[in-house]
Amino acid sequence: MAIEQIKMPQLGESVTEGTISKWLVSVGDKVNKYDPLAEVMTDKVNAEVPSSFTGVIKELIAEEGETYEVGQVILTIETEGGGEAAPAAASEPKTEEKTAPVQSAGNAAASAPAAPAKAESPKGVRYSPAVLKLSQEHGIDLNQVTGTGGGGRITRKDLMKVIESGNIPTADTAPAAPSQTEAPAAAAAPSAPAAPAKQAAPAPNVPVMPGDIEIPVTGVRKAIAANMLRSKHEAPHAWTMMEVDVTSLVEYRNSIKGEFKQKEGFNLTFFAFFVKAVAQALKEFPQINSMWAGDKIIQKKDINISIAVATDDALFVPVIKAADEKTIKGIAREINELAVKVRTGKLTSAEMQGGTFTVNNTGSFGSVQSMGIINYPQAAILQVESIVKRPVVMNNGMIAVRDMVNLCMSLDHRVLDGLVCGRFLQRVKEILENTAKENTSVY
């Protein structure tokens, strides 16, 4: 017999932790390699963690609702004669609709870990949503609770023990600081106490009236909210807009869309032309294809375009890799394939990683002007609005009806300034306004 460990996997680029939203197994359960063990939620994706071994569940170390760092042990499995870790190219585990599957991520280790020792919560600790909610409901001062989770984290189980004891520590019951005449117990002067961790603001008390409908917040919606909040809090957003005359592009696409659909089997959308133009402009303005990394800016070599695809209750952002190397036809095919995968629940986490710039097709639902939230940690996002016919004053002073579209760009002002973004948008505008049957091929 051997005891093997399953650790918290990295479920996306720049993801450093995940929350156990639900265990799918119990202690004593027999599992096979690749069987799902738990549902994990991050700020990028919801996924099932598969088993790397065949054996019997020995211990569930992680708690539901608790957040753990990548690489932290979440459970142990007892195997016969040692287990073999799943290969990187393993087939994708089954996932529920609207969740992205991940590859198996367990690492073998020698023996079961010892029970975590009690320790004070480290400075800057982040409490899980379950812990925050429970503490707010019962008025518990978390600074007075000793956590037994990994790294001294306070778990839901810790709070339940406090509640059951009836001795609930509140802010009013915090021990008073010793007077100047009282000598400290230790000879050495104690270090200054760590500042309390910043807690999420309590949920507003919204009255529920007859006829109102309460809709539970799903894990996917929580992940979207967390990532959007992080982006708005950390990245100083600036915004700019430019209008583009795409009359020639519209005429060209409309003239070939029927033949293209019959020949290729999928639609040639306007969006494919916009993504191609953006990819070409990013190659000429590589500063836009950058990310903020604290003490440095990382200018990415690869041009990988993230595109937003919405379902009824969630938003996914798959990535078109090496978009600058693809034709308009190739981009159109990939847009179609990724959208189908999103709506059938077959999109993998790997297909949402590596994006360097986001293009959002807000025009698909009639929007003509919007300000997007940057897809963290990227430096910018471009909203392609609806193409509408408008009267335009031409160079000769005559008024003509033209097909016009607004391109709206949000940028991280730590990374980018208005000058380079203005030149970038001017280049995208130039490419689009010169897209016509005479000089553009979709192949």
- pLDDT (0 to 100) of residue 40: 86
Phi, psi angles (nearest 5°) of residue 420: -65, -35
Of residues 424 and 218, more confidence is placed in 424
Over the stretch 21-41, which tens digit does the pLDDT of each residue have?
889 999 999 999 888 899 888
Over the stretch 126-142, which tens digit does the pLDDT of each residue have?
666 667 767 877 788 88
Phi, psi angles (nearest 5°) of residue 76: -125, 150
SS3 40: strand
Q: Which residues, 6 or more positions from 170, have their beta carbon under 8 angstroms from its beta carbon?
A: 139, 140, 141
Average pLDDT of the chain to the nearest whole number: 82
Over the stretch 270-307, which tens digit does the pLDDT of each residue have?
999 999 999 999 999 999 999 999 889 999 999 999 99
Residue 247: CB atoms within 10 A of its CB come to 18
CATH superfamily of 118-173: E3-binding domain (4.10.320.10)
Counting beta carbons within 10 angstroms of the beta carbon of residue 135, is it exposed (0 to 12), middle (13 to 18) or buried (19 or more)? buried
Of 416, 396, 355, nearest to 44 (Cα)? 355
CA angle 404, 405, 407 (to 5 degrees): 150
DSSP 174-218: SPPPPPTTSPPSSSSPPPPPPPPPPPPPPPP-----TT----PPP
Residue 207: CB atoms within 10 A of its CB come to 5
Calculate the CA dihedral of residues 165, 166, 168, 172 and round it to 10 degrees: -140
Q: What is the mean pLDDT of residues 241-264?
A: 97
Tell me, yes or no, if 29 is annotated catalytic. Answer: no
Using CA atoms, how far apart are residues 123 and 107, in angstroms rounded to an integer? 29
- pLDDT (0 to 100) of residue 315: 82
pLDDT higher than 60, residue 55: yes
Q: Where are the alpha helices (DSSP H) in 197-345?
A: 219-234, 247-264, 270-284, 328-343
pLDDT band at 90 (very low <50, low <70, confident <90, very high): very low
pTM above 0.75, yes or no: no
Of residues 173 and 118, more confidence is placed in 173
Q: What is the mean pLDDT of residues 304-321?
A: 89
pLDDT higher than 50, residue 121: no
What token pair was written down for 89?
Answer: 């190219």
Q: Which residues, 6 or more positions from 263, have their beta carbon under 8 angstroms from its beta carbon?
A: none
Using CA atoms, how far apart are residues 191 and 315, in angstroms rounded to an integer? 46
Using CA atoms, how far apart are residues 403 and 368, in angstroms rounded to an integer? 13
Q: List residues bridging with 384 in a β-sheet.
A: 407
DSSP 90-137: PPPPP--TTS-------B--SSPPPPPPPBPPPTT----HHHHHHHHH
Query: Mean pLDDT lowest for which of 177-191, 302-316, 325-339, 407-421?
Result: 177-191
Task: Decide which of 3.30.2310.20, 1.10.10.1200, 3.40.50.2000, 2.40.50.100 is the CATH code for 1-114.
Answer: 2.40.50.100
Q: List residues bridging with 377 in a β-sheet.
A: none
**DSSP type of residue 27:** T
What token pair was written down for 314?
Answer: 């969630």
Measured CA distances, 144 to 67, 139, 189 (Å): 20, 12, 21
Query: Mean pLDDT lowest for which of 211-225, 409-423, 425-439?
Result: 211-225
- pLDDT (0 to 100) of residue 81: 62
pLDDT band at 150 (very low <50, low <70, confident <90, very high): low
- pLDDT (0 to 100) of residue 85: 46
Q: Which residues, 6 or more positions from 173, have their beta carbon under 8 angstroms from its beta carbon?
A: 141, 144
Does 227-433 match 118-173 at the fold level? Answer: no
- pLDDT (0 to 100) of residue 92: 39
**DSSP type of residue 12:** S
Structural domain boundaries of the chain? 1-114, 118-173, 227-433
- pLDDT (0 to 100) of residue 57: 94
pLDDT higher than 70, residue 125: no
Architecture of domain 227-433: 2-Layer Sandwich (3.30)
- pLDDT (0 to 100) of residue 410: 97
Q: What is the mean pLDDT of residues 363-372?
A: 94
pLDDT higher than 90, residue 100: no
Catalytic residue chosen out of the listed positions 138, 302, 313, 413? 413
Measured CA distances, 443 to 249, 273, 439 (Å): 15, 12, 12
Tell me, yes or no, if 417 is annotated catalytic. Answer: yes
